[in-house]
A and B are shown apart, each in its own frame.
Chain A
Amino acid sequence: MNLSTDSQLISIRPNTARFSAGPGGYLNLTTKSDEYTCIRLKRALPYKYPEKYICVCDREDKEIGILSDLAEWTGPQRELLEAELKRLYYIPNIEKILSAKDRMGYLYFEVLADGNRKSFAVRDPSRSIRFIAPGQSSAVQITDTEGNRYRIANPAELDGKSRRTVETYLI
């Protein structure tokens, strides 16, 4: 495979780079040659490999490089990165579906998510409720009318009624 220099991945590795918490609530990055403030982390494959292929972008959203695998990072550096990713990619997990009513063409959910009760509505369930990866055993993602995401990490662990409810709409 012969790719141009532009298409090569620039890997950010622990021996050449260091992340630190900036004063404004952002992460900063120091490499051998540069210092970047307010960097952003973006998962390239957020469902399949949430801990791999994480792009690091600068304030202008320009890619600095890529973290191939979080496992390469250890100690406080790893904790810092994980905490930031958790903040940016936080999705409440649905533990129980209390009710799902079809009204006016919307599916009106009442759920227990991360220990709290929450109501939301879903438009076009066949598109808004889906497995996040091909196959019938992966996690399920539900997107409400406002664009908020909810996740059922393990549908098999839901109680029977909740599982049957969500299964009705899954393709």
Chain B
Amino acid sequence: MKQKEKKIKQPVSAATLFAQRDIPGQVLFVRANQSGDKSFGQVFLATDGKILYSLYGYEQIRPVPGARKLAPEFVETRFQTVPLESYEELKVERYFSTARLVGLPQKDATPEVLAEFALGSANRVDRFARNALKLRNGNLENELEEEEEDCCPKCGSYYPDPARKVCPNCMDKGSVTRRLLGFFRYYAKQLVVFFIVMALYTLFSLLSPYVGTKLLYDNVLSASDPWYGQIGAFLLLLLAVRLLSLGLNMLQGSVSASVIPHVIYDLKSRVFSTMQRLSMGFYTGKQTGTLMNRVNRDANNVYWFFVDGCPFLIINLATFAGVFFILFRISVLLTLIVAVFIPVIFFLYRFLSRHFRKMHHRQWMDHSAMTSHLSDTVGGQRLIKAFGAGQRENTRFAGYSSRVRDSEHTLFNAQNTAFPFVELLAVTANMLVLGVGGVLIVNGSGLTLGRLLTFTAYLNMLYGPLDFLSWVTTWFSRCLDSAQRIFEIIDAQPDVKEAQQPLCPEIVRGEIELQNVMFEYEPGRPVIRDLSFRVEEGQMIGIVGKTGAGKTTIINLMARLYDPTEGRLLIDGRDIREYSFAFLRKNIGVVSQETYLFIGTVADNIRYARPEATEEEVIAAAKAACAHDFIMKLPDGYETRIGAGGQDLSGGEKQRLSIARTILQDPKILILDEATASMDTETERNIQESLSRLQSGRTTVSVAHRLSTLRDADVLAVISQGKMTEYGTHDELIRKKGEYYNLYRLQTKAAGTIVIAD
């Protein structure tokens, strides 16, 4: 007999590979997938701070001699070494599907390609490269990089999502279940009632066939029985059993309704409160963005399993066990016949449910593609009509629609063929039971007609639970997956954390200083590099630069929505990380281009900055923001409902409300992020007036495309590719004739005014 081989998933370890090469001292490793030099495999990099070692090759899965195992074996194709000291800088260049680690002998010198690998490994190699330089320079603060961080430490498989570090093979389903059940602990009494009701419901369900058949045929209709002819009593008993069963079912639903929504409420509340605690990085991260979208769906998955799945799981399990017990009690021989069919039907159901799940998925995908296309064309009707593309769109829609038709046709066809086949098996089992049972009755082997009919009635009760149990495990797994994702959010730690004993000074001057600040949203892609400047108390600084230069990132750092990757940001001479969140939110006000209004009244929206503000303060803030006049023209004044579904406001009106909100906040540091970028000239002039009032007595940081907005700035910083290229007053920068001068010249030219005085 051929022995079944067991596969080892543990990948080849870089540490093991390099151990044979006798590299002295502290060593850093990294593994990258797929080398880019014409072959598919792996590249391992290592360094001891002096030499960079690159090992290319691929894994071969081979049987382990003398063992029932498969093990990966690394086949080396190339090994190269380069002295690390030859390079001042290491960087990763990303291409379409591959990436390269390159070394620069000196800044601005011709780079040299040191290793090539798949794009997906670029971040990992980038981290390695940075640590390699630190190791060389003797300032590696952290412990050595963990080589296998993208692999499960238990089974060695790659994590499906490197950002989540959850291995599907080793996920502790028990602990997730226990944690999920922990949410039910406050409802222990209701749960006890729930289980008692379920047990009683199952019991009465099991009684129904006995009363309906055995009692009828063997007692009420049997001339020799004392119950003979008691039709009325029989009907009353049958009615009582059915009514009780119905009542218990209703009670079960009611108890379930009093527990499950509360548990889901608790779960969602925990998730929502965690979301408020988490920093901006969590929301902007690609991986977590997907997680967030799933929160609602995941909570619903858990909800429906507990509402629909869990009660029926218990009922079906109990029914299955109870029915089998009763069948044995009625006839051992007939039960043994049934026992042959049960596993066949169970596995057939299981096979079909998997098969149909795929077909349902196919149909769902085709349907979603058609719906997306439909919504796309409805939204783009103007464009379609403008380009006279109606016929082309009809053809495209017909393509999507025909795929839906085909997948539905395949699914229905398969269902119509497969289920009668399962039914045929069930009918065969029933016929065999009736045949053998009939023989037993005729031979007088102790089986009565009533008992035989009761047996077949119970037998029919088996198929429902069999069907249910064949696919409920998949449902349960999906519920646990959803719960796991919810717990991941609950357990997430914010990147921006408040200090243990945060500062909350009463007096704030409003000085800001950036010291060698570096920041990156994604590893290896710095958005801000080595940025240093100082803004004095009450000064206004204008930050100028092209789109994507990093201006908004600077103000995000000033508002402490993120922390710098390197360097420090000081407020009144203290690191921004030392202050409490409450202090920062109170003293740093942001007016951005994207104004967000919540659903509520105008007054509620202005008061969002300071809920305890009086009506007089709200009106005063609106007046200062030049918003009072338009508010008074709204039908319900300050009580007009705005936000989604409410009164529509123009961009300028929304912006003025946002300014009023910030005026009410009364911050010492004011950040204006393209506050008037999308306004027409007249509206901008109005808003500038309200902004000027807001700026008085505060330190102001203003980011703007239109340089005219920054005419009042005391000092200007020009940012290009995350670096400060120019710094000075308007006159100084104009005289310098650099980037600011060029921008200014372009804008004044565009505006039709050529007033540049040297």
Residues of B within 8 A of A104 (CB): 160, 166, 168, 171, 481, 484-485
Residues of A within 8 A of B481 (CB): 103-105
In chain B, positions 283-306 with a C-beta closer than 8 Å to chain A are: 290, 294
Q: A116-B40, A117-B61, A123-B290 are in contact. Are A23 and B110 (CB under 8 A)?
A: yes
A91 to B95, CA, bound (A): 12
Is A106 among interface residues, defined by CB-CB distance under 8 A?
yes
Q: Is the interface of B mostly helix, strand, loop or mixed?
A: mixed
Residue pair A124, B110 in contact (C-beta under 8 Å): no
Q: Which of A105, A114, A118, A167 gathers most chain B CB within 10 Å?
A: A105
How many whole Å from B464's CB to the nearest CB in chain A?
Answer: 26
Residue pair A26, B40 in contact (C-beta under 8 Å): no
What is the number of contacts between chain A and chain B, taking CB atoms within 8 Å?
123
In chain B, positions 478-492 with a C-beta closer than 8 Å to chain A are: 481, 484-485
A147 to B395, CA, bound (A): 33
Stretch of B219-227, B273-281, B358-366, B693-701 at the chain-chain interface: B358-366
How many whole Å from B552's CB to the nearest CB in chain A?
Answer: 22
> What 0/1 pattern do residues 110 to 154 of A give for CB contact below 8 A with B?
000111111111011010000000000000000011111100000
Is B29 among interface residues, defined by CB-CB distance under 8 A?
no
A119 to B168, CA, bound (A): 13
Residue pair A116, B112 in contact (C-beta under 8 Å): no
Residues of A within 8 A of B185 (CB): none
A126 to B365, CA, bound (A): 7
Is B98 among interface residues, defined by CB-CB distance under 8 A?
yes
Stretch of B31-39, B533-541, B561-569 at the chain-chain interface: B31-39
Q: A24-B102, A89-B97 are in contact. Are A115 and B40 (CB under 8 A)?
A: yes
How many whole Å from A39's CB to the nearest CB in chain B?
Answer: 12
Is B59 among interface residues, defined by CB-CB distance under 8 A?
yes
Residue pair A38, B40 in contact (C-beta under 8 Å): no
Is B570 among interface residues, defined by CB-CB distance under 8 A?
no
Residues of A within 8 A of B96 (CB): 42-43, 46, 88-89
A123 to B290, CA, bound (A): 9
Residues of B within 8 A of A91 (CB): 97
Is B41 among interface residues, defined by CB-CB distance under 8 A?
yes
Residue in contact with A87 in the complex, picked from B9, B33, B37, B157, CB distance below 8 Å: B37
Looking across the interface, which residue of chain A has its beta carbon closest to that of B400?
A171
Is A168 among interface residues, defined by CB-CB distance under 8 A?
yes
Residues of B within 8 A of A87 (CB): 36-38, 98, 116
Is A92 among interface residues, defined by CB-CB distance under 8 A?
yes
Q: A90-B98, A105-B481 are in contact. Are A149 and B119 (CB under 8 A)?
A: yes
Residue pair B113, A116 in contact (C-beta under 8 Å): no
How many whole Å from A70's CB to the nearest CB in chain B?
Answer: 16
Q: A145-B162, A169-B365 are in contact. Are A105 and B40 (CB under 8 A)?
A: no
How many whole Å from B359's CB to the nearest CB in chain A?
Answer: 8
Is B22 among interface residues, defined by CB-CB distance under 8 A?
no
> What 0/1 pattern do residues 111 to 152 of B give for CB contact below 8 A with A?
111001011110000000000000000000000000000000
Residues of B within 8 A of A101 (CB): 168
Task: Report, as a range, how many residues of chain A touch the other chain.
Answer: 35 or more
> What 0/1 pattern do residues 31 to 59 of B give for CB contact below 8 A with A?
00110111111000000000000000011
Is A25 among interface residues, defined by CB-CB distance under 8 A?
yes
Residue pair B369, A92 in contact (C-beta under 8 Å): no
Looking across the interface, which residue of chain A has its beta carbon closest to that of B162?
A146
Is A108 among interface residues, defined by CB-CB distance under 8 A?
yes
Residue pair A145, B110 in contact (C-beta under 8 Å): no
Residue pair B98, A89 in contact (C-beta under 8 Å): yes
Residue in contact with B168 in the complex, picked from A43, A46, A108, A124, CB distance below 8 Å: A108
Is A86 among interface residues, defined by CB-CB distance under 8 A?
yes
Residues of B within 8 A of A168 (CB): 358, 361-362
Is A37 among interface residues, defined by CB-CB distance under 8 A?
yes
Residue pair B368, A126 in contact (C-beta under 8 Å): yes
Residue pair A24, B110 in contact (C-beta under 8 Å): yes
A residues sitting closer than 8 Å to B (CB atoms) are 22-26, 37-38, 40, 42-43, 46, 86-92, 101, 103-106, 108, 113-121, 123-124, 126, 144-149, 167-169, 171
18 pairs from A and B in contact (CB 8 Å cutoff): A26-B110, A37-B110, A40-B95, A87-B38, A88-B96, A90-B37, A90-B38, A90-B97, A92-B34, A103-B168, A105-B481, A113-B40, A114-B40, A121-B159, A121-B160, A121-B161, A123-B160, A146-B118
B residues sitting closer than 8 Å to A (CB atoms) are 9, 33-34, 36-41, 58-61, 95-98, 100, 102, 110-113, 116, 118-121, 157-163, 166, 168, 171, 290, 294, 358, 361-362, 365-366, 368-369, 403, 481, 484-485
Query: Which 8 residue pairs across A and B have the least CB separation, nearest first?
Result: A121-B160, A146-B120, A25-B113, A148-B120, A24-B112, A103-B168, A114-B40, A106-B160
Known: A46-B96, A88-B95, A124-B290. 14 other contacts (CB 8 A): A23-B112, A26-B113, A37-B110, A88-B96, A90-B34, A91-B97, A104-B485, A108-B168, A113-B40, A115-B40, A147-B119, A148-B118, A148-B119, A168-B358
